[in-house]
Amino acid sequence: MMLLLAFRNCFRNTRRTVITALSVFIASLIVLLVMAFMYSVIDDMVSNERLYSTGDIRIRNPKYSKYESLLPLQFYVDKVDEIKNDLSAIDQIDRVEETNRVYASLYNKEKMSAISVIGASPSSVFFSKDAELNEGRFLEEGKKEAVVTPRFLVEHSLSVGDSVTVVFKTADNATDAITIKIVGSVSYPNAEYNSAFMIMDNSLLSSILHLDDGAIELYIWLKDRGSLDEVYPIVEEKLSKYGVEVKRYEEISAVYPILPLYDVMIAIIVVLFFFIASTLVFNTMMMSVLERKKEISTCVALGFSRNYVVLLFVLEGIIISTFGALLASIVGKILITIFAHVGIDLTLFGADAVDGWSFPNMLYPHLSGEKYLLVLIIEVLVASLSSFLASKKIKKLEVSEELREEA
């Protein structure tokens, strides 16, 4: 009975009800879209970093990590084949790849330039389905060739098909040079990994660097990241005899330490828009109380308790806000589903929108069901509080005075 009465009262001033519900709808929709955008950015940042930079677990010579700023190639991981063989016994591991990431000098047209070179096998993640071949082809194992990013071609005035000479510092502190042909141009789904760098076959690069049966780093990717806590100590134990450093993603990630900042940003946005919505609900209910003072006085005179009347007004605020929030959830779900399939090209906002950040070039927003429910619950709670605060004026209302004025 009370709920039905509250529902009917919502339509006594249709214009105000619509404006309030629309305000709640807009605030809730913005919160949902921002949450979908931010959480998707976070997920893509973590995913891309794991895929191209850290793996789930990284293996190094501990002395290389200690003196990393000096690029001490002499401190590489040896017995790579033995390590990979030991790790193959762990079922939860998806794959293990060795790689070398070094700086070198590019000699081209009588000009020397510092460049970044990555060693990767033709079957590595750098040539996975996420890699977009712009021109030419991918690497062939053992050949003196390289693929580069489009930015590399632009910065060094090169084209696919050109041959260049690259000079390396070796693990025994000597220098070695090789002439290689650029056979392809490749792009990645994240701007950070589209900087100017060159990729060579890792076995060829290891040979040039005089690493023998070694590599600067090995990366481990798991079939299920949720098993990291279980697998990590097993890997440590198996590799303890090699004297290597074993680090998990959270210890070496550049993204992981800043994730709490994104949570703070999301929280600020949520609080801001819910504050706006709560203010509008409060104002609506306050105006409703002021306009219906005589009606309220009559109800009290007829024996209805003030608490009953307050609860009636609170229910009105909850009904209006719930309608707005539910509508926002439906529209938000539709929009997020569309964007999840179509994607949002962040480069359309300009190269600076993603350049130098770990943001993906294409964003596919997503939001879990519990996030929709969370927004709805918070909005209902905020509306309840706002309605209650506005309705407190009912308890101070002078019933006899209002009835005398009416008479």
pLDDT tens string 352-372: 444 555 566 678 898 988 889
Check whether residue 41 and residue 179 sit in a common domain.
no
Check whether residue 68 and residue 152 sit in a common domain.
yes
Check whether residue 402 and residue 309 sit in a common domain.
yes
Give domain status of residue 55, yes or no. no
Q: Quote the pLDDT of residue 212.
A: 82
CA distances for 17 relative to 11, 283, 326, angstroms: 7, 11, 15
Percent of the chain predicted with pLDDT > 70? 90
Check whether residue 95 and residue 202 sit in a common domain.
yes
Check whether residue 272 and residue 361 sit in a common domain.
yes
What are the pLDDT digits (tens) for 173-205? 899 999 999 999 998 876 667 788 999 999 999
Q: Which residues pair with 120 in a beta bridge?
A: 201
Whole-structure pTM over 0.85, yes or no? no
Check whether residue 81 and residue 223 sit in a common domain.
yes
User: Which of 184, 209, 243 is a domain's end point?
Assistant: 243
Check whether residue 179 and residue 304 sit in a common domain.
no
User: Which of 182, 211, 243 is a domain's end point?
Assistant: 243
Check whether residue 232 and residue 92 sit in a common domain.
yes
What are the pLDDT digits (tens) for 51-97? 888 999 999 999 999 998 888 999 999 999 999 999 999 999 999 99
Q: Quote the pLDDT of residue 401.
A: 54
Query: Exposed, middle or buried by CB within 10 Å (0-12, 13-18, 19+), for 57?
Result: buried
Give domain status of residue 251, yes or no. no
**Measured at the alpha carbon of residue 114, what is the angle toward residues 112 and 115, in degrees to the nearest 5?**
120
Q: Quote the pLDDT of residue 232.
A: 95
Band the pLDDT of 314: cuts 50, 70, 90: confident
Give domain status of residue 324, yes or no. yes
Cβ atoms of 169 and 175 closer than 8 Å? yes
Buried residues in 187-223 as b, exposed as e (16+ CB within 10 A): bbbbbbbbebbbbbbbbbbbebbbbeebbbbbbbbbe
| Range of the structural domain that residue 283 is part of | 2-48+258-406
Give domain status of residue 54, yes or no. no
Judge whether residue 407 has pLDDT over 60. Answer: no
Check whether residue 76 and residue 177 sit in a common domain.
yes
Check whether residue 275 and residue 171 sit in a common domain.
no
Band the pLDDT of 111: cuts 50, 70, 90: confident
Give domain status of residue 374, yes or no. yes
Mean pLDDT of the chain: 85
Give domain status of residue 366, yes or no. yes
Check whether residue 15 and residue 141 sit in a common domain.
no
Q: Quote the pLDDT of residue 12.
A: 72
What are the pLDDT digits (tens) for 384-398? 888 778 777 666 665
Give domain status of residue 123, yes or no. yes
Give domain status of residue 104, yes or no. yes
User: Which of 243, 277, 307 is a domain's end point?
Assistant: 243
Check whether residue 26 and residue 76 sit in a common domain.
no
Q: How many domains does the chain have?
A: 2
